[in-house]
Structure 1
Amino acid sequence: MTGRRDYYRDPAAPRANSLVPGGSALVADERGRILMQRRSDSGNWSLPGGTMDIGETLQQCVVREVKEETGLDIEITGLLGVYTDPAHVIAYADGEIRQEFNLTYLGHAIGGTIKVSDESTEVRYVDPIEFDRIPIHDTVRLRLHHYTQHRDTPHLG
């Protein structure tokens, strides 16, 4: 895979040179499966989301990104957590090395049809029993774990 490489708690990771606000959505269906996409740049399964555009709120960004990446319209229902771990950096082919800055919202689908975008090779609801058998980055696994804990308050980190 090309275009992106994630480093997490890696002493050999390059030093971040960028910080960009981004968000993602954890959308569960009535059977408890989680909406995920298999990223075309890394091959990992991930929550849909992306970075803000000027003129939009982060919630608007997440709704837009989920629509672009999965074909589904969602409604934000809460906040799972704030994820800003400086030990997670993402190196892009253009030289940008971004420190993680992600707010993960909770949401549910209100319309649309699942479809693959140019950023993914597959989009579907994933049963949690599959999580140990598919490639998922550790930082996404952390969010999935936080979701299964049914916390009363969002993760702040």
Structure 2
Amino acid sequence: MHRLVAQLWRLIRGPLQWRVLWLAHAKFNVGVTGVVRNDAGQVLLLKHRLWAAQHPWGLPTGFAVKGEEFPLTVVREVKEETGLDVEPGRLVRLKSGYRLRLEVAYEARLVGGTLKIDDFEILEARWFDVDALPAAMQESHRELVRGAGDDAL
């Protein structure tokens, strides 16, 4: 049986192989987070309207759109949510294990723009010192801010 499957697989080379793989495997959403810092080393945190009431504070986050490069997702999400312009940096987290979601996080540096929050998703945006993060912050985002993302690659 294995030999027959292998022979069939070799016969359907090219686009048909990719279609079979696509149909047979899980499809994932990709959540992308930006650890945005200013020149003073402070981190940008947002109070999210749609998140759990006990942990509304977190980093700028959103889902990648089809075909979008993940660093550019950070740039787009920060601009949409805050009006600020950022330059993406290095990858600090790549994590799976969620049902149909992959989590990606990048460092990012403020390069311009004017703060104007998207009040549909965001209630407040503030710069925080790393040693003065709000208590009502998601723990996974706290780890990213403090550098634990390095260990999660």
Using the size of structure 2 for normalisation, the TM-score is 0.70
Give the alignment of 1:115-154 within 5 angstroms.
115-117=116-118, 118-131=120-133, 133-146=134-147
Unaligned runs of 5+ in 1: 1-16, 87-97
Cα contact 2:39–2:110 (8 A) shared by 1: no
Offset from partner CA, 1:40-83 (integer Å, 9 cap, x none): 01241111021111232112212101100111111112111213
The structure with the largest strand share of the pair is 1
Match in the other structure for 1:155: 152
Aligned-pair RMSD on alpha carbons?
2.3
Whether contact under 8 Å (2:83, 2:116) holds in the other structure is: yes
Q: Could you list the per-position Cα deviations for residues 81-140 of structure 1 after superposition, in whole angstroms to 9, with x for gaps in the alignment?
A: 213243xxxxxxxxxxx6552211011111111122121100121122322x43111211
Instruction: Compute the displacement of 1:143 (Å).
Output: 1.3
TM-score by length of 1: 0.69
Aligned equivalent of 1:13: none
Structure with the higher helix share, 1 or 2: 2
- Comparing both chains, which one has the higher relative contact order based on Cα–Cα distances under 8 Å and sequence gaps of 6 or more? 1
Larger-Rg structure: 2
Tell me the equivalent position of 1:41.
50
Aligned residues: 124
1:8 maps to what in 2?
none
- Listed as ranges, the gaps of 5+ residues in structure 2 are 1-25
